[in-house]
Each structure stands twice: as structure tokens, then as C-alpha cells.
């Protein structure tokens, strides 16, 4: 302690005073420097906001947008924006795919057209085949079809005449008026032997055929083909020799001239 007191007395007297002042000044400067550096370090450790916090809202993102970067917040606020933009393209593709899937191919259309044409041709051929029917005998009309009652000389009464009487001598050829199929061969007391032929659009009924017809049930006949010889008709015996010919549509008698297209 005595040594320290002696040292201080020397420093405080004479030149020692100036030395002490200089040392004190240096120490003060060092202390200030130390405090400053410590303050800076402390501020950095506290993560105080830097000058960038003074930027205007969106300034940083605007800079990113200029650099081609998108704002993730916008995606969060509008999650369906991207899908909405892409939806029209997807819908268009689906429409194209659906149309392609359900559109008939050219070959399919051609096949349908060909089938339809063939069916129409077959139908037209059938119509043309029986377009013009022949008369069953080579003779004039003796008595017309009539839905109104007319006087019958043989039966001596008034009755409708459901067919046409074609004048022809006994034994004359009776031919099919068209192409058809024999459906019935009967012997009736009033009408003699009768033959019925299905022609598709109507049924032809030939009455007064001589016994021993040329055709039988289910036989196929062609237009002009012989089906029998002309005989007698008991219920119309007082008239000249003739063939009584009827046409039926769905079982109902119709005008033979209309059915034959005459």
C-alpha cells in the first residue's frame, strides 16, 4: 500500500500530472469505442427492423413481379383461378372426344345406306312385279261390282254383287292375275269350285272353276299361269257363261278393278 501511495504522489506532482491526464483520456476513448461496438452488436442481436420496413406495401412483391415471380398470397386467395382458366380447354377436348366416339364412320354410313337401298330396291321390285295385274279370263265384263242391291235373275231377289263377272265360254282358261300363293281350294253349292290366291295386297277368289283344278293349296303361281278351266256357277246359272271373280282385303270384299289397278 505504501508503494502505491508513493506512486500516486509522484504522478500527481509535476510531470506525473500530465501523464495521468493523457492515460485517462486514452482510457475514456477506449471505453467509448467499446460501448459503441457493444451497442451495435446488441441491436443486431435484437433483430430490430432495418430500413426496408419503411417500403410501401407491395413494393417488395412488385419487384418480384417485375422479375417474373408470382405472389403466393394471390394463389391462396383464388385457389380455383388456375383450374378455371384451364377448364374450357378440358371441356373442348371432352366434346371433341365425345363427338369422335359417337360419330358413325364413313364405312358404317355407307353400309347403312347400302342396306336401305337394297331394301327399297326389293320393295320396289315387289311392287313392280304386281304393278299391273292381268284379267283372269280373256273376256268382257258382264256384270260389275256393286255394293248396292241389284236384281239376281237366278235367285229372283235383290242382293249386292261382291265381284265382277267376266264373260267367257265354258272350258276357257282361267289364269292367275299376278304372282301369289294358293291359300284355299273349296267346292261350294252356290259357287262351284273356288280357288283363293294371296297376292300380298289382296286375296283373289275365283268362282265357277271346273272340277279338277290345276293347282293346290300352298302352290306358288305366277301371273298368267293356268289355275283351272271355267265351269258353272249354280247361283248365277241363268246368266251367260262367265267367271265370278272377287277380291278381299283383310277379309272384306272390295272392287276388283281397283285392286287390279284398272
pLDDT band at 20 (very low <50, low <70, confident <90, very high): low
| CA atoms within 13 Å, Cβ hemisphere of 39 | 6
pLDDT for residue 226 is more than 80: yes
What pLDDT shows up at residue 132?
78
Task: Say which DSSP state 230 is in.
Answer: B
Residue 126 CB: number of other CB atoms within 10 A?
Answer: 13
59-107 pLDDT, tens digit per residue, is: 455 455 555 555 444 444 444 444 444 444 555 545 444 444 444 455 5
Strands 173-175 and 180-188: unpaired
- All residues at 6 or more sequence positions from 179 whose CB lies less than 8 Å from its CB, including other chains: 129, 130, 199, 220, 221, 222, 223
What's the average model confidence in pLDDT over 46-60?
Answer: 47
199-215 pLDDT, tens digit per residue, is: 999 999 999 999 888 89
CA distances, 206 to each of 78, 148, 201, 210, 262 (Å): 91, 22, 16, 11, 18
Describe the chain by its helix, strand, coil percentages, rounded to 5: 45, 25, 30
Amino acid at each position: 500500500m505504501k508503494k502505491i501511495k508513493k506512486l500516486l504522489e509522484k504522478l500527481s506532482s509535476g510531470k506525473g500530472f500530465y501523464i495521468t491526464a493523457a492515460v485517462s483520456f486514452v482510457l475514456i476513448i477506449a471505453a467509448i469505442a467499446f460501448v459503441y461496438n457493444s451497442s451495435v452488436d446488441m441491436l443486431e442481436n435484437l433483430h430490430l427492423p432495418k430500413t426496408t420496413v419503411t417500403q410501401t406495401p407491395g413494393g417488395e412483391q412488385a419487384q418480384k413481379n417485375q422479375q417474373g415471380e408470382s405472389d403466393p398470397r394471390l394463389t391462396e386467395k383464388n385457389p380455383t383461378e388456375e383450374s378455371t382458366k384451364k377448364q374450357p380447354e378440358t371441356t373442348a377436348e371432352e366434346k371433341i372426344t365425345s363427338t369422335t366416339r359417337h360419330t358413325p364412320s364413313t364405312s358404317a354410313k355407307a353400309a347403312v345406306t347400302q342396306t336401305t337401298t337394297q331394301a327399297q330396291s326389293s320393295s320396289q321390285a315387289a311392287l313392280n312385279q304386281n304393278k299391273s295385274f292381268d284379267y283372269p279370263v280373256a273376256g268382257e265384263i258382264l256384270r260389275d261390282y256393286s255394293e248396292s242391291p241389284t236384281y239376281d235373275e237366278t235367285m229372283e231377289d235383290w242382293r249386292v254383287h261382291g265381284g265382277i263377272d267376266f264373260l267367257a265360254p265354258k272350258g276357257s282358261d282361267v289364269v292367275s292375275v299376278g304372282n301369289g300363293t294358293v291359300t284355299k281350294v273349296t267346292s261350294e253349292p252356290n259357287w262351284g269350285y273356288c280357288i283363293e290366291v294371296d297376292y300380298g295386297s289382296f286375296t283373289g277368289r275365283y268362282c265357277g272353276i271346273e272340277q279338277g283344278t290345276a293347282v293346290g293349296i300352298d302352290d306358288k303361281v305366277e301371273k298368267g299361269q293356268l289355275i283351272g278351266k271355267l265351269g258353272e256357277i249354280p247361283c248365277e246359272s241363268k246368266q251367260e257363261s262367265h267367271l265370278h271373280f272377287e277380291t278381299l282385303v283383310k277379309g272384306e270384299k272390295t272392287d276388283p278393278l281397283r285392286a287390279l289397278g284398272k
